[in-house]
Structure 1
């Protein structure tokens, strides 16, 4: 008995001295700062999904939709999160750059026109005869010409006022403009914080009014992916699990964000996350087809709409911008 006990203790001591299995470090570049919509990646860390896939993921904040693309293309980051429309243009200007989208996250992009009902803005046609505030570098403004075409808007009847990002929502709150272009969840919440009643805010999501474009996707360095296909597959599976977690419990997701961003307001980021989930992530398409993939016919139409505001140097080819090679068959179910 004593011999068995000593043997058991020795075995336990050996296990305790054995180092934990090594995890592969994967830096991940976000498009923006740590806010509600980034909660899924932190949930994937906190709830052990990345660890189960053998990954040690460090998330880095970004500075805009273009920010992650060159980071991943140069190999500084193996994976990132970026607007696929910006990726399309980047690859057209840099043919052969080793970067591609591998998992669609925003089935509907957050590009929107946000107005006030009290100023007469509820539908696209209401913009005619009104003043539209648009920051020149704004991603939503970049898509406005295609949105205008899809809705037969007479641009000669719309006064476009160039505004800065910091002054965009304050000008709308003060009635200096009738509507603004922006990301749906951000502009909406900024107006709420400025005291605009929620029932006075109209959010015209461009994806609901003829815009076929997709939004943000997980992107990967193609050299890295070809050398580590199973790692990429595991990463995407963990991301999908993180999204399922925050869809089920947005408050947990907001708290995960606040743990990394002490300045964050948990209630505000929970609301921002909920808005992104409802408008951009959980859509009729992802409910029916799962999360992560794209519809080829829609992508072709999206490329036609990109061409309305961008002159391609090379013939657009959807296979250069997105691959489902690392997704499971049937994508990732949301239920």
Structure 2
């Protein structure tokens, strides 16, 4: 009887404890604010800061129940954020400015890369040292409307007639030894090398085009109504990038599983090495990951204004906030 009574008491206590734990879990979940962010491409290591923050629970620690949706060639993060279907989007700095020019009230809150990872690649058999060397017979594939293309035409010997529309694959480039093509320094050169195609590369940033890469933005309305939440998001993402710098390999499997493709550890190691300076170098050395300056934004605005891509009158202070990076 004593055993039975003790067992019954233990069962009752267990039930009470389990109930309390369930209530605590429910309360914790209720305290989290749901947010959605859209990246610029399919899951890849170039978004390591966000994925590390997801994996390690940094967003939850900041009170955010985060959903991370992938981008892609048919996905416009600007449209998704503008429509209210996500709170945070990712795009190149010039893409954010073009959206603002079109009347979409966006504000940039941090930049994953101090300089864009975009560049132009060419066949390694050519002696090319700068963009002027691509003038003449080269056929250069770029995405339609790429802001950097207009800058290259205006500031180098490259001519508008050399441009061809990038179709999304590299077959036209590979089959034509006199072709050049847009690329990400972390991606296409690696994959083509695996296929035995030798390429040289030029980064757009080396041309003087002042473009932040993978800028994280929200709407003016969301920023003004939820500054604490935006701060929490930035803190978690910066922490993700800092942890990635300490232990990049720890997130490789996580990204690989999300990508559900043939991405390999070798490719992610290659990309990690290539993007290191772009994340942690430049102004980020003294000011921290994600930092953006008014001077850099104004330079990009002035460049696009001079090219006639945007109208004059836009001010850097209207397109980004620096308050969130400590």
Q: Give me the TM-score of the superposition, normalised by structure 2.
A: 0.85
What is the rounded CA distance, in whole Å, between the counterparts of 2:48 and 2:96 in structure 1?
23
Q: How does 1:229-248 map to 2 (within 5 A)?
A: 229-248=227-246
User: In the TM superposition, what is the alpha-carbon distance from 1:61 to its structure 2 partner?
Assistant: 1.2
User: In the TM superposition, what is the alpha-carbon distance from 1:44 to its structure 2 partner?
Assistant: 0.7
Q: How does 1:1-150 map to 2 (within 5 A)?
A: 12-20=17-25, 21-22=28-29, 23-64=32-73, 67-94=76-103, 97-137=104-144, 139=146, 142-150=147-155
SS at match of 2:125: helix
Match of 1:183 in 2: 184
CA pair 309-111 structure 1, distance change in 2 beyond 3 A? farther
Aligned residues: 314
- Bigger Rg, which one: 2
User: In the TM superposition, what is the alpha-carbon distance from 1:88 to its structure 2 partner?
Assistant: 0.7
SS at match of 1:155: coil
Instruction: Tell whether the 8 Å contact from 2:305 to 2:311 is kept in structure 1 after alignment.
Output: no
Q: How does 1:191-270 map to 2 (within 5 A)?
A: 191-197=192-198, 201-270=199-268
Match of 2:275 in 1: 277
**Partner residue of 2:314 out of 296, 313, 316:** 316
CA pair 238-185 structure 1, distance change in 2 beyond 3 A? same
Q: Could you give the per-residue CA deviations for residues 144-178 of structure 1, whole angstroms, max 9, x where no partner exists?
A: 3323544xx2235x8615143344x3333334334
What is the rounded CA distance, in whole Å, between the counterparts of 2:206 and 2:252 in structure 1?
27
CA pair 276-8 structure 1, distance change in 2 beyond 3 A? farther
Match of 1:171 in 2: 172
User: In the TM superposition, what is the alpha-carbon distance from 1:323 to its structure 2 partner?
Assistant: 1.0
What is the rounded CA distance, in whole Å, between the counterparts of 1:248 and 1:173 in structure 2?
37
Instruction: Tell whether the 8 Å contact from 1:147 to 1:210 is kept in structure 2 after alignment.
Output: no
Instruction: Tell whether the 8 Å contact from 2:144 to 2:166 is kept in structure 1 after alignment.
Output: no
What is the rounded CA distance, in whole Å, between the counterparts of 2:325 and 2:203 in structure 1?
30
**Partner residue of 1:162 out of 144, 161, 164:** 164
Match of 2:3 in 1: none
What is the rounded CA distance, in whole Å, between the counterparts of 2:58 and 2:102 in structure 1?
36
User: In the TM superposition, what is the alpha-carbon distance from 1:269 to its structure 2 partner?
Assistant: 4.4
What is the rounded CA distance, in whole Å, between the counterparts of 1:264 and 1:40 in structure 2?
21
Instruction: Tell whether the 8 Å contact from 2:186 to 2:270 is kept in structure 1 after alignment.
Output: yes
What is the rounded CA distance, in whole Å, between the counterparts of 2:316 and 2:17 in structure 1?
55
Stretch moving more, 172-181 or 231-240: 172-181
